[in-house]
Structure 1
């Protein structure tokens, strides 16, 4: 599966959430239940949250970092690598950091270790129709 991205996105592997989020995956879903299908969605492998502006998005990053999620692997190498989450600003994928566990497509990402399938996004939106409009 894949998750739709737009504006500012934080992508977190569900396996990482199961390991690090206080209370695990079920607690994460419960904490975000008000936003599911609106600014938060997920497939079987990835969790996506996001915002349309940098101020709100900064609060999202602070939330995850406050829970102990780390953005980057240790900076003692020449190439920085995303660790517990990846930040994606759609549709620009010009990274200065490597994200080995994500595959990028136009307006979607999927976990690199699993086959891509249906794209999950906003509640009650046809993803194919959305993507067609974005290409215009």
Structure 2
């Protein structure tokens, strides 16, 4: 899935940066936060595929990595199996019959997964930074 931004409630922020956004499968998932009070799941990704359009605030910055956080709110039917912190690189987003977003994340080995549904999907934060190593 390359244009996951179609699931965002307000896709403009990512679409202003990328003509074609990076596929979630090609990004590193480094953050997974569940908030039972807000009934939300927030995922943090980073990628070395830099935005084509750069906001003025980034013009003089030196950077090689783009980081962004996607929050899923109104989460139901959350099931996690075998979560070990190993790389998770398979993401599937789809619409259910009632308009919710069905999310499946799986990693190395079929026994690692997180599955849930969400009412809304939002880009809640993004930034660029200079990461060490290549």
Same fold (TM over 0.5): no
- Aligning the two structures, in what range does the TM-score lie when normalised by the shorter sequence? under 0.3
> Which has the larger share of strand?
2
Q: Which has the larger radius of gyration?
A: 2
Q: When you count helix as a share of all residues, which structure comes out higher?
A: 1
TM-score (norm 2): 0.25
Q: TM-score, normalised by structure 1?
A: 0.24
Bigger relative CO (Cα 8 Å, ≥ 6 apart): 1
